[in-house]
């Protein structure tokens, strides 16, 4: 099952490697990973998307919480939260017909054109994972040359929202 | 975080910049390290020198009246010694090694301490800061290699952080679930100077290990335990780490509870006590394994439901509700789901439980548990630990019993890994905590002798014995030189079956006795080996010699190696075959 984890960690070298190591040591792939500072420059938020079952996730979240420099680890899956991701999609569009089809999809998805050349268009799209995947699916038959995705960032809808496992115990 | 991506080298630190606080004394990094260790109460360091730690060794010479350095003969030995010291004393052990091969040689010891939750601070030298990442001579990524087998590790980047990092390292190593912490120190930083001030507070916002459990949950657990008709206490290393043996004894006695310790828990409850059923698990007693399997409430304290303890998980204690007390949340409900999870250290939570018990519990417990105890006594009578003794050949179990008799059960004994380890666990009923030192989680051959040596150096006047196999002893036997150099009185008893016995046992039982690379074929003459190192060597080959050889060996001052030739193809029983349930023991 696809899961989104949100981790607050002290902003220091080596901490990301420690977090990622908990996944790689178990042979789990990380689907996306974003890291950036929070309001405090001493603290970074890591948003990590992976696939695994409940009991493994519970174990990983506990292990994350036990890490010396991790302030909080939350499994957002099953909690009300928002997710956003941005993607740049380079689409082949050498003909007028192709360009029109691309531009139609761009406006339907409230995406933006960020680069236009004789034979292609670079589209910027934002949304949750599903939304970006749908646009990719629709553009694919026209011809996507390259994709760059930021990976998911996420936030619980209200700070009071119950968390499956959170806070350091 | 950004540093991971743009790993630009640290700018060289200017000397002027460092001379800030005029109030504190300015000294070079190597000296700051020594002073910080002294502040942490370190009296002994186990180590091995090399290029990257030259400045540190230079300062150790000047502080030798306050810190004793023990020169091992291999870095693995140094780290095992530090672990033996830590397990025997309860204080963090300290090891010091050089960069590159010094660091890689110490990894086995670090991983061993990680698996068995032993507090260690391991200081590794590193190449100079500006050379890191250049494949410099004797460079390895020590923090990278040790990250998965340390509780925490540091790469020091600024001499001004050194004192604080040492302070944090000791705190992290010794609190919560204890474990090893590595501090990797580039050589240039040990030469740079800074004012020495020892921080009085720690800045670890994400690290707050709990000691007491949530009281409501402890209450619920206590009422469950008080209603149980087939309860059992399953206890382990966590009780020893938290110094909770007295509390455990009181809990067991007030509720008349049967107790079964894990391998790591040996001695946390007196093995000779009538409530003690002996060790459980793969080579546990019949009564302990039956009792845990048939129990209705398991009170698990400071244990982690290791696979060598539970056997096949789907067959583990099917009727039991589980109270699980552990300081590490990730140990709870990892392998077996707990009905009453309690995060807290063993001693504090037992104390909470004791405070919640009604006043007179002994009598009602005795009455309620009478049928349960009757059943347990039947199991004990049906299949006690037993073996067939012989006049011709020394039986390994008899060796353990004789060792118990001649040490009065009072010795600190470190074992290596293999059959001898299991027999000692079965036939040497440890009386108290910190008496049994063994490698449980990692199962590291070569651990026993250096660990015993670390304990002997911590307690020069106590009887300390390394109980080792003929195979494992050869992995770290070079530490005989260390043992003799520091004029220790350590006694080494080799249970010599001329085989890698535990592997041979599996090949006998599960591979039709097709022995593959388990016969040592060529063993050194251990008596002559001892003599070559300036130690005393003794040998017993027949049961009639055993008592007198052990007696003489234990009483001879200095380092003594006793080579005890035992029955070669004896097996350890009971045994729960891999993949079987605990009740499916083979009794032999
Ligand atoms: C470093 C290491 N290598 C291999 C093993 C696997 N192993 C476990 S027990 C054992 C045999 C140990 O033989 P010995 O030291 O003679 O002890 P015995 O079992 O005969 O008492 C081996 C090889 C191990 N535990 N540790
Ligand atoms: Mg052997």
Residues of B in contact with A45 (CB under 8 A): none
Percent of chain A residues past pLDDT 90, beyond the cut:
85
Q: Is residue B177 in some structural domain?
A: yes
Q: What average pLDDT does the structure give for chain A?
A: 92
Contact with chain B for residue A19, Cβ under 8 A: no
Q: Is residue B6 in some structural domain?
A: no
Q: Are residues B182 and B305 in the same domain?
A: no
Cβ–Cβ < 8 Å for B275, B257: yes
| Domain count of the fold of chain B | 3
Residues of A in contact with B345 (CB under 8 A): none
| pLDDT, tens digit (0-9, with 9 covering 90-100), for A98-108 | 999 999 999 99
What are B492's strand-pairing partners? Answer: B466, B561
| pLDDT, tens digit (0-9, with 9 covering 90-100), for A70-92 | 999 999 998 999 999 999 999 99
| pLDDT, tens digit (0-9, with 9 covering 90-100), for A137-153 | 999 999 999 999 999 99
pLDDT given at position B17: 45
Question: Which active-site residues of B does the annotation give?
Answer: 75, 137-138, 187, 502
Residue to mutate, B105, B108, B111, B417, ligand 1, most ligand atoms under 8 Å from C-beta: B417
Residue to mutate, B445, B450, B476, ligand 1, most ligand atoms under 8 Å from C-beta: B445
Q: Are residues B418 and B540 in the same domain?
A: yes
pLDDT given at position A166: 40
Question: Where does the pLDDT of residue A55 fall: very low under 50, low under 70, confident under 90, or very high at 90 and above?
Answer: confident
Domains delineated in chain A = 2-78 (3.30.70.260), 83-153 (3.30.70.1150)
Question: Where does the pLDDT of residue A1 fall: very low under 50, low under 70, confident under 90, or very high at 90 and above?
Answer: confident
Q: Is residue B234 in some structural domain?
A: yes
E-strand stretches of B373-474: 412-415, 436-437, 464-469
Chain B's closest residue to A63, CA to CA, is B330
Cβ–Cβ < 8 Å for B52, B103: no
Ligand approaching nearest to the C-alpha of B502 = 1
Alpha-carbon distance values, B453 to B139, B174, B223, B349 (Å): 30, 21, 45, 33
Q: Are residues B367 and B411 in the same domain?
A: no
Beta carbons of B210 and A69 less than 8 Å apart: no
Q: Per residue of chain B (588 residues), what is the pLDDT tens digit?
A: 333 333 334 444 444 444 444 468 999 999 999 999 999 999 999 999 999 999 999 999 999 999 999 999 999 999 999 999 999 999 999 999 999 999 999 999 999 999 999 999 999 999 999 999 999 999 999 999 999 999 999 999 999 999 999 999 999 999 999 999 999 999 999 999 999 999 988 989 999 998 999 999 999 999 999 999 999 999 999 999 999 999 999 999 999 999 999 999 999 999 999 999 999 999 999 999 999 999 999 999 999 999 999 999 999 999 999 999 999 999 999 999 999 999 999 999 999 999 999 988 999 999 999 999 999 999 999 999 999 999 999 999 999 999 999 999 999 999 999 999 999 999 999 999 999 999 999 999 999 999 999 999 999 999 999 999 999 999 999 999 999 999 999 999 999 999 999 999 999 999 999 999 999 889 999 999 999 999 999 999 999 999 999 999 999 999 999 999 999 999 999 999 999 999 999 998
- The complex's ipTM works out to 0.90
Q: Are residues B377 and B403 in the same domain?
A: no
Chain A's closest residue to B334, CA to CA, is A59
Q: Closest CB to A68: pick one of B4, B172, B329.
A: B172
- Residue with CA at minimum distance from ligand 1 atom 4: B445
Q: Are residues B237 and B365 in the same domain?
A: yes
Long-range contacts of B55-59 (CB under 8 A, 24+ apart): B55/B28, B55/B29, B55/B30, B55/B187, B55/B190, B55/B191, B56/B30, B56/B96, B56/B123, B56/B125, B56/B185, B56/B190, B58/B30, B59/B28, B59/B30, B59/B31, B59/B33, B59/B34
Distance between Cα B570 and ligand 2 center (Å) = 11
B412-415: strand order across its sheet: B436-437, B412-415, B464-469, B491-496, B560-565, B536-540
Domain boundary among B382, B413, B438: B382
Q: What is the DSSP string of A128-165?
A: -HHHHHHHHHHHTTT-EEEEEE---EEEESSTTS--SS
Q: Are residues B43 and B180 in the same domain?
A: yes
B contact residues 165-224, partner A, Cβ 8 Å cutoff: 172, 176-177, 204-208, 210
Q: Are residues B334 and B426 in the same domain?
A: no
Q: Is residue B20 in some structural domain?
A: no
Residues of A in contact with B333 (CB under 8 A): 58
Q: Is residue B205 in some structural domain?
A: no
Mutation choice for A interface testing from B1, B171, B331 by most A CBs within 10 A: B1
Nearest atom in ligand 1 to B445's CA: 26
Chain A's closest residue to B2, CA to CA, is A13
Nearest atom in ligand 1 to B108's CA: 1
Instruction: Please state, as a whole number, how many other Cβ atoms lie within 10 Å of the Cβ of residue B384.
Output: 11
pLDDT given at position B52: 98
Contact with chain B for residue A9, Cβ under 8 A: yes
Q: Which of B93, B280, B82 is nearest to B169 (CA)?
A: B93
B77 three-state secondary structure = helix
Q: Is residue B535 in some structural domain?
A: yes
Q: Are residues B185 and B221 in the same domain?
A: no
- The range of the structural domain enclosing residue B52 comes to 27-195
- Residue with CA at minimum distance from ligand 1 atom 3: B445
pLDDT given at position B23: 60
Mutation choice for B interface testing from A7, A68, A166 by most B CBs within 10 A: A68
Q: Are residues B47 and B189 in the same domain?
A: yes
Mutation choice for A interface testing from B3, B206, B211, B344 by most A CBs within 10 A: B206
CB-defined site of ligand 1, < 6 Å:
B 416-420, 443-446, 469-472, 495, 497, 499-503
Q: Are residues B452 and B359 in the same domain?
A: no
Q: Is residue B573 in some structural domain?
A: no
Cβ–Cβ < 8 Å for B448, B472: yes
- Residue with CA at minimum distance from ligand 1 atom 23: B500
Q: Are residues B50 and B75 in the same domain?
A: yes
Q: Is residue B331 in some structural domain?
A: yes
Residues of B in contact with A16 (CB under 8 A): 1, 4
Question: Rounded to an integer, what distance in angstroms lies between the CA atom of residue B419 and that of residue B425?
Answer: 10
Per-residue DSSP letter, B12: P
pLDDT given at position B7: 38
Residues of A in contact with B207 (CB under 8 A): 68-69, 168
pLDDT given at position A159: 65
Q: What is the DSSP string of B213-260?
A: PPHHHHHHHHHHHHH-SSEEEEE-HHHHHTT-HHHHHHHHHHHT--EE
Nearest atom in ligand 1 to B474's CA: 15
- Return the CATH number at B150: 3.40.50.970
The interaxial angle of helices B75-89 and B448-458, nearest 10 deg, is 50
Distance between Cα B502 and ligand 2 center (Å) = 8
Q: Are residues B370 and B517 in the same domain?
A: no
Distance between Cα B202 and ligand 1 center (Å) = 42
């Amino acid at each position: 099952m696809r899961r989104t984890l949100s981790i607050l960690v002290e902003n220091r070298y080596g901490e990301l490697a420690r977090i990622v190591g908990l996944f790689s040591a178990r042979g789990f792939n990380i689907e996306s990973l974003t890291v950036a500072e929070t309001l405090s420059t001493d603290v970074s938020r890591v948003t990590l998307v992976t696939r695994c079952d409940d009991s493994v996730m519970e174990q990983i979240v506990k292990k994350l919480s036990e890490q010396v420099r991790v302030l909080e680890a939350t499994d957002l899956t099953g909690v009300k939260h928002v997710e956003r991701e941005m993607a740049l999609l380079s689409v082949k569009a050498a003909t007028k017909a192709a360009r029109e089809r691309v531009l139609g999809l761009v406006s339907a998805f409230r995406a933006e054109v960020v680069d236009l050349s004789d034979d292609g268009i670079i589209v910027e799209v934002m949304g949750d994972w599903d939304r970006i995947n749908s646009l990719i699916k629709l553009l694919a038959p026209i011809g996507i040359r390259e994709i760059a995705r930021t990976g998911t960032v996420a936030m619980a809808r209200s700070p009071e929202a119950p968390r499956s496992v959170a806070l350091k115990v | 975080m950004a540093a991971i991506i743009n790993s630009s080298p640290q700018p060289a630190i200017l000397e002027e910049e460092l001379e800030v606080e005029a109030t504190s004394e300015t000294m070079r990094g190597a000296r700051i390290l020594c002073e910080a260790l002294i502040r942490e109460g370190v009296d002994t360091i186990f180590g091995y020198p090399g290029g990257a730690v030259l400045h540190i060794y230079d300062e150790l010479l000047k502080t030798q009246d306050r810190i004793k350095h023990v020169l091992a003969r291999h870095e693995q030995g140094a780290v095992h010694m530090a672990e033996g010291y830590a397990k025997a004393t309860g204080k963090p052990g300290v090891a010091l090694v050089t960069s590159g091969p010094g660091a890689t040689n110490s990894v086995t010891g670090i991983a061993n301490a990680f698996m068995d939750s032993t507090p260690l601070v391991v200081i590794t030298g590193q190449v100079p800061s500006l050379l890191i990442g250049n494949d410099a001579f004797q460079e390895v990524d020590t923090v990278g290699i040790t990250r998965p087998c340390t509780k925490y590790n540091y790469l020091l980047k600024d001499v001004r952080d050194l004192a604080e990092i040492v302070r944090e390292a000791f705190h992290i190593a010794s609190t919560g679930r204890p474990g090893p912490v590595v501090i990797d120190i580039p050589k240039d930083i040990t030469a740079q100077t800074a004012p020495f001030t020892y921080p009085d507070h720690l800045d670890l916002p994400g690290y707050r290990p709990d000691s007491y459990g949530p009281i409501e949950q402890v209450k619920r657990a206590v009422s469950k335990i008080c209603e149980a008709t087939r309860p059992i206490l399953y206890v382990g290393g966590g009780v020893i780490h938290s110094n909770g043996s007295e509390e455990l004894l009181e809990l067991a006695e007030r509720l008349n509870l049967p107790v079964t310790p894990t391998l790591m828990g040996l001695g946390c409850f007196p093995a000779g006590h009538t409530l003690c059923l002996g060790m459980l698990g793969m080579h546990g007693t019949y009564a302990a394994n039956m009792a845990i399997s048939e129990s209705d409430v398991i009170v698990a304290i400071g244990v982690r439901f290791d696979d060598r303890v539970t056997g096949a998980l789907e067959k583990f204690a099917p009727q039991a509700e589980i109270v699980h007390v552990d300081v590490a949340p990730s140990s709870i409900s990892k392998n077996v789901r707990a009905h009453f999870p309690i995060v807290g250290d063993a001693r504090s939570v037992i104390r909470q439980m004791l405070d919640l018990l009604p006043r007179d519990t002994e009598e009602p417990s005795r009455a309620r548990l009478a049928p349960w105890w009757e059943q347990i006594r039947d199991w004990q009578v049906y299949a006690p630990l037993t073996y067939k003794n012989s006049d011709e050949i020394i039986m390994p179990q008899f060796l353990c019993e004789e060792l118990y008799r001649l040490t009065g059960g009072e010795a600190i004994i470190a074992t290596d890994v293999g059959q001898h380890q299991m027999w000692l666990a079965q036939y040497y009923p440890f009386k108290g905590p910190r008496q049994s030192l063994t490698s449980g989680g990692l199962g590291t051959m070569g651990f026993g002798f250096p660990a015993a040596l670390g304990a002997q150096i911590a307690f020069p006047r106590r009887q300390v014995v390394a109980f080792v196999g003929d195979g494992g002893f050869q992995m770290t036997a070079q530490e005989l030189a260390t043992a003799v150099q520091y004029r220790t009185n350590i006694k080494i008893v080799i249970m010599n079956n001329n085989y890698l016995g535990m592997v041979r046992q599996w090949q006998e039982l599960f591979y039709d006795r097709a022995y593959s690379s388990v016969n040592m074929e060529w063993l050194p003459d251990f008596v002559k080996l001892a003599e070559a190192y300036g130690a005393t060597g003794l040998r017993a080959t027949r049961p009639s010699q055993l008592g007198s050889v052990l007696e003489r060996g234990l009483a001879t001052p200095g380092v003594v190696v006793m080579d005890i030739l035992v029955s070669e193809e004896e097996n350890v029983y009971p045994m729960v075959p891999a993949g079987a349930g605990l009740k499916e023991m083979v009794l032999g």
